[in-house]
Amino acid sequence: MLEDFLIRLGIVHQPSAVTNAVPVGKQRQHLSNLYILPDGLLHPQFETKRNARGAYVPCWKSAFELALRKGQLKRIHNTANLHPLLVNQISHQLRSRVLQELIILHKRLEALRGHRRLKSPPNILRRLTAQELSSASTPSLSSSVRLETSCSQQPLAVITCPRQPTSETVADDQLATLPIQLDYPSPEPGLPPYELIPLDSSRSAEPSLPLYHGSKIFRLSAEQTRLRLALDRIIELDQQVPHGPQQRHPDPSGKSEEALEDSSDAYILQSPANGATVDPVPLAISLWRLMLWEGSDWRTVDDSVMSSPL
* Whole-number Å distance between alpha carbons of 112 and 94: 28
Q: Are 280 and 105 in contact (CB under 8 A)?
A: yes
Q: Where are the domains of the chain?
A: 2-83, 90-306
pLDDT at 209 over 80: yes
**Across the chain, what does the average pLDDT equal?**
77
Quote the pLDDT of residue 255.
47
The stretch 143-158 carries a mean pLDDT of 65
| Least confident piece of the model among 149-153, 226-230, 269-273 | 149-153
Task: Give CA–CA dist 107/283, Å, rounded.
Answer: 13
Q: What is the separation of C-alpha 15 from the centre of its chain, rounded to a whole number of angstroms?
A: 32
Confidence of residue 138 (pLDDT cuts 50, 70, 90): low
- Alpha-carbon gap, residue 192 to 189, rounded angstroms: 8
> 146 pLDDT band (50/70/90 cuts)?
low
Residue 236 has pLDDT above 60, yes or no: yes
pLDDT attached to residue 98: 96
pLDDT at residue 294, rounded to an integer: 87
Q: What is the pTM of this model?
A: 0.81
**CA 69 to CA 60: how far, in whole Å?**
15
pLDDT of 16 reads 64
The mean pLDDT value for 287-300 works out to 78
pLDDT class of 8 with cuts at 50, 70, 90: very high
Mean of the pLDDT values across residues 8-33?
Answer: 62
Q: What is the pLDDT of residue 150?
A: 55
Share of the chain above pLDDT 90, in %: 32
Q: What is the pLDDT of residue 42?
A: 93
Q: Give the span between the Cα atoms of 73 and 276, in whole angstroms.
A: 43
**Average pLDDT in the 280-303 region?**
80
Q: How far apart are CA 142 and CA 148, in angstroms?
A: 12
pLDDT at 21 over 70: no
Report the pLDDT value the prediction gives residue 139, as an integer from 0 to 100: 47
CA 143 to each of CA 33, 207, 306: distance values in angstroms, whole numbers, following the listed order = 60, 12, 22
Q: Is the pLDDT of residue 166 over 50?
A: yes
pLDDT confidence of residue 122? 72
What tens digit of pLDDT does each residue of 36-71 get?
999 999 998 888 766 768 899 999 999 999 999 999
Outline where the chain has alpha helix (H): 61-69, 86-112, 130-137, 214-217, 221-238, 257-262, 281-294
Helix (H) or strand (E) holding 283: helix 281-294
- Reported as a pLDDT band with limits 50, 70 and 90, residue 111 is confident
Instruction: Indicate if the pLDDT at residue 243 is higher than 70.
Output: no
Element (H, E) at 66: helix 61-69
At residue 143, the pLDDT reads 35
- pLDDT tens-digit series, residues 64-108: 999 999 999 988 888 889 999 999 999 999 999 999 999 999 998
Sheet of strand 155-160, all strands in order from the earlier edge strand to the far edge: 125-129, 263-270, 155-160, 208-213, 194-198, 298-300, 305-306
